[in-house]
Amino acid sequence: MAPEPPHLPAQELRRAVASLVVVRASGHLTDPQRHYPRWELPNATLRRLLAEGVGGVILLGGSTAEVRLRTRQLATWSSQPLLFCADVEEGVGQRFEGASWLPPPMSVGRIHAHDPEAALALAAAYGRCTAREARQIGLNWILAPVCDVNNNPANPVINVRAWGEDPATVSALTAAFIAAAQAEGVLCCAKHFPGHGDTTGDSHLELPVLAHSRERLEAIELPPFQRAIAADVASVMTGHLLLSALDDQRPATLSAAVLSQLLRQDMGFGGLVVTDALVMEAITAHHGPGEAAVLAMEAGADLVLMPADADAAIEALVGAINGGRLSPTRLQQSLRRRQLALERLLPEPVQPPCEPLGPLSNGPDGADQRLALTLLQRSLERQGGVLTPVARGADGQGLGVSLVRVDGLLSCPFLSPTAPALTLPEAAGFRCQLVDGLRPADADLVPPGDTPVLLQLFIRGNPFRGSAGKAEPWVALLDLLGQQGRLAGLAVYGSPYLWQSLRGRIPANLPAAWSPGQMPGAQTLLLTSLGLGDSVAQAGFTD
C-alpha cells in the first residue's frame, strides 16, 4: 500500500481544495445585471474566491459578446487555468443570445426512430456546433449531453432534454455528440448519473426515489453512461436521486456505493465526477453546504458544483482533510483528474484584450444555421388543413383569440413581444391572450363568446416547474372548444407526450402541429406549416 502524501501547508491546502469548487456567475459584466442574485455571486465575492483558488465558474445569461468579455475578465482574477462551463444542452444559444439555439435533443431521437444514420450524423453536428460556439465565447466545458433515458412520459424535468426514450437510441446519439464535441477541444459531461429519466419528481424541488433493481438499472439507465465512458467522455455529473437497491440512505451524489463502487469500479470511469448543483432542494433540504460538500467528496466526487455557500464548503473540506475524515490521497486523486481534464483542452486562441468582438462564426458554409433548420423541419409533425384568417371588427381588432399557455408571464425567453407565436396569429386576426401555466387550472381559460380559438401550448419538462402539463386541463378545454365549434387550430411546442394525448381528440382535418422546440424559429416553422407566415427567413435562418 502506497504511503499517504504529506499534508499540505494550510494556505496551499485551502487553495487546492478551492480549485475543486465551481461557483455560479452571471454572464453579464456588472452586478445590477444579475438575473438570479440568490445564486449568482457578486463581482467582489467572485474576485476574492477566484484569487483564493476557486477553480471553476458556471455561467448563465448575457450575449455572446458579453460572455467572451466575461470569461476573459474572470480569467484575469485567477492565477490558474479555470474551468468555464454552462448548461448548453440545446446549443450555446439556449443560454447566451447571439449563438445557435438548437431544437432539443429529443428532436434527434425522433429522427433516429426512422432514419438512424441521419440521426447519428445530426447528433455529431449538434456536438460540433455546441463545442465550436462554446469555445468562441470562452467556455471549455459543456454540461451536456443528457444521458437520461426518458422512458417515463410523466417525467417533470427531463422530457425533451433527453436524446430518446430507449437506451439504444440514447447511447448511440450521446456517444456521437461526445466524440464530435470533444474533438473540437472542449470537455463534455454525461448527466445525470445513474439516470433521471424514470422519475416523477424533480430533484430541483425534492429527492426523487428510484426503486429499481440493479438488473433493471443495467438494462435501462446505465447503458448510455457506459457508452459515454467508452467514448472517453471527460466528466460525469451525478444525479440527486435515491436508488434504494444501491443505497437506501443517501442520494447518488452523496453515495460511495453509487460513485466509487458503481461508477468508478464497476463501470471503469476514470475521469472527473462533478456533482449536480448542491443548491438544489434534494440536497439542501437534508444537508448544510459544508456537510454536503464533504459527503460528496467522501462518496467519490471530484468537483463540487454550486454549493449553497462556497466559503462554508471550502472550510468544511479543509477541516475534513485536517481531521482525517478525507485523506490527502483522496484530495490528490481529484486534483490529478482536474489537471488531466485541463490538459485535454485545445489551447485558447491568443486575442488582444481590446480586439473588437464580432459575431460568432456560423461554422463552415453556414452549417449551424442549416443544422437548426434541418432539425426543426425533420422533427415537425402536423395534421389537417391550414388555418383560416379571421375577420376584424370595426375597431380593427381581430375577432379570433390565440390562447397561449406559457410557463410564467415573467419568465419566457422564447416569447418576446415580437415572437412569431404572437405576431403571426395577430396578423391573421387572432388577438393573443397569455395564460400563466403557474396559476391553478380552472374553467376561466375559455374565452367568452363564440370567437374562434387558436390554442398554442408551450409545455415541456423544465427544472423548478414540478410538472410537464399533467395537471392542466387541456384535454377538457379541447373537448369544450370542439363541442362549441370554436377550435380553429392547435400548436404544441415541447412535450411529445402532450401532443400525442391531444391529437387523437381533434378532427383529422383540423390544423394542428407539434414541434419539440419552443424558440422563435420553431414557432415560425410550425405556424407557417399551418398557413400563417410564408417564409423560413422569418425564423432567422437566412440573411
Active-site residue set: 204, 276
CB-based contacts of 207, cutoff 8 Å, min separation 6: 201, 240, 241, 242, 251, 281, 282, 285, 286
Are 49 and 310 spatial neighbours (Cβ–Cβ below 8 Å)?
Answer: yes
CB-based contacts of 48, cutoff 8 Å, min separation 6: none
In whole angstroms, give the CA distance from residue 61 to residue 26: 6
In whole angstroms, give the CA distance from residue 299 to residue 295: 6
CB-based contacts of 395, cutoff 8 Å, min separation 6: none
Residue 262: phi and psi, rounded to 5, are -70, -55
CB-based contacts of 443, cutoff 8 Å, min separation 6: 473
In whole angstroms, give the CA distance from residue 100 to residue 118: 20
As to burial, measured by CB atoms within 10 angstroms (0-12 exposed, 13-18 middle, 19+ buried), residue 531 is: middle
C-alpha to C-alpha distances, 351 to 25, 82, 289, nearest whole angstrom: 23, 17, 38
Are 512 and 503 spatial neighbours (Cβ–Cβ below 8 Å)?
Answer: yes
Pairing of strands 512-515, 381-383: antiparallel
In whole angstroms, give the CA distance from residue 284 to residue 294: 14
